[in-house]
Amino acid sequence: MLTSGSVQRGPSESETVSFLTQMTPRMMAHASNDVVKRWGKIRVGPADSVVPGIPLMFAWEDLMKVMRKDLGHSSFGLQRRGLLRLFVNDIDSFGRQPPTAPSAHDQR
């Protein structure tokens, strides 16, 4: 991640697990159903992926979109990768289509 002109290392696997563990009770208590569903997908991880990092990255974007919705923000006009572009400098190098798209069931 690029921050203030310097490259920062990402969280380690143990730091990520710790973060997810700490946030889960908060999500259960305060988040909307849409956020809880997306959070659960991130916690379990994309088991159907050959390259788990890419679908997981898009799962985080989906989570950010439903969190924004909870806060009253519209995603109208915000294209796929729009939020990821704030964090991933080379987001356009990951192909034209996201590896997984939300199903109709996820949209409820």
pLDDT along the chain (108 residues), means of 10: 57 82 86 91 68 78 91 88 86 64 46
Contact 85, 35 (CB under 8 A): no
Contact 79, 102 (CB under 8 A): no
What is the residue whose two structure tokens read 């203030």? 4
- Secondary structure letter of residue 91 according to DSSP: G
How many CA atoms does the CB half-sphere of 7 hold within 13 Å? 3
Q: What is the pLDDT of residue 2?
A: 42
Q: What is the pLDDT of residue 5?
A: 55
Q: What is the pLDDT of residue 47?
A: 61
Task: Provide the terminal-to-terminal Cα distance of the chain, rounded to the nearest Å.
Answer: 33
